[in-house]
Chain A
């Protein structure tokens, strides 16, 4: 404090020099407190806003976490009656339904990624590089599965698949998931290829690389981060997908979301909560990865 004291008159001096009116220092002091009040107020608002946001985001999650460790919890009580890890043990029992459907979910997601990439890498390259006459129409075509109410689509898909013998098979579910995921993978892949400077490819052609060699040594490695991100999106979409799986896969194919549905419909909130928490893990992990992979130059080309 003693160090600051000599500073105050020095700061006030230029003010009085500019405007010698006597009320100047007092006015500036009152406006100072008002500014402090407003800044305090806005900080307070920010804190309240963040708290609401955090509650909306983490409230349901906290509820899930609580349910997953609640062994007994019934109506009059605000909190579980007894806690325990019994249901975790049930879920993670090697012979349990949960582990089997987790395996099904993951293998379906992996196959879906494979199918989606097989289509989206060549399609993305073509959309980005070739002068296609129906470019916009093609881009919209991949968007169509998202444009209509999914239940209406999947009922018809299920009917067609039934006549082809695809209902209740992994293949059928993978196809449904892939059609759903293609919009992400094609659009992101097209953006990833479009973000690559043509001269980089021409430089390889120029010193003797064939078009195919150029694609695999220059274009594809440079587009890899974007394609990787699209693969992650497709993987997560497939892991979360419910409607299509429900119409095409039931009863033979049980994925984690279907198990969750059955569990919560049966009133088994513990199993449902634990399944939901398991489903949350890959999403959170991959979102962190995607954030690193998807660069601004790729994002800026999405949908162009």
Chain B
């Protein structure tokens, strides 16, 4: 981050504990104004705790949170000047849509007629016009979450926190709301932190992705960077590269020789770690070739086709290699129990040395 730009949110070695159990182990993160950050992680990794601590719902046991340079660790939530969308929507069932969306304005002493006008503008923006006097209990899930978004945006917050707001919605509404939130963020220029466990949601919405693991940040970067060059086996498998193959890499001449088990060596001259490594790869980088094909820059694993399905557009095969099974898609039709080669281009594999747990190298 450029230090001359005032950061919107600066989380500095934040620690949070529930009783004796530490949930966040010194998390540091800085977010530029107008940036859209997605915090991605499996459940229990501390992502929601991080968001709730930023919002002020959870006490920090150490570290600092600065909003535009102001330390807010001891500030109650109502004085932090941010707004949040909850996974449960958290709409007040005893109020109408107008009451919910206009609540923040009423707190700020805005006159009644002006509240009605401003709420109407927000509802139009969210495709909810005319629903002012509807009870929130009479709305669909998507409409409720839009009202929740409207309630958060009505106070024109500089920071919007999103706590898995889309996870209770069905797929179609989710995708629609995703792009609506993103479009609104482009227009209104608020800073957003979005907590999610949905990889695609994080990838499509965020400027930068923060991958969290066990109360720590595993990697921060642009979606493409995190997807293409994960810095650890955890991030690699979390981003979908869940298949693994053990390789042996030895220096040879100007490049290296890559060997799989007892198979023949393939020469390669990309930058890779030396020694025994584990390669992580996604299903879509593998392809089917002849079992004895030799292709530069790719390793070919001989195996057998054990299953074939046709999900539409292409065939999906399960290939058995030794006692391991890999899923591959291919446009061509192959007979079952046929010996094939599984081709893995070395450039698309995420290679991590077995001798050290971190500092993996992307081939």
Contacts and interface: CB of A to CB of B under 8 A. Distances in A.
A197 B90 contact: yes
B262 interface: no
A208 B88 contact: no
Contact of A206 (B82, B91, B93, B154): B82
A87 to B, nearest CB: 47
A221 to B, nearest CB: 5
Given A202-B77, A203-B84, A213-B107, A208 B155 contact: yes
Contact of B103 (A204, A210, A221): A204
A202 to B, nearest CB: 5
Interface in B67-83: 76-79, 81-83
Nearest to B80: A206
A207 B90 contact: no
Interface in A172-212: 197, 199-200, 202-211
Contact of A221 (B56, B77, B94): B94
A271 to B, nearest CB: 46
B151 interface: yes
B94 A222 contact: yes
A61 interface: no
B120 interface: no
B86 interface: yes
A285 B152 CA distance: 43
| Residue from A199, A202, A206 whose CB has the most chain B CB atoms within 10 Å | A206
A22 B88 CA distance: 65
B92 interface: yes
Contacts of A221: 94
B235 interface: no
Contact of B78 (A199, A200, A205): A205
Contacts of B107: 207-209, 213
A207 B83 contact: yes
Interface in B54-76: 55-57, 76
A207 B104 contact: yes
| Residue from A208, A210, A218, A222 whose CB has the most chain B CB atoms within 10 Å | A208
Contacts of B84: 202-203, 206
Nearest to A224: B94
A116 to B, nearest CB: 23
A205 B78 CA distance: 5
Contacts of B91: 203
Nearest to B82: A206
B155 A207 contact: yes
Interface in A213-269: 213, 217-218, 221-222
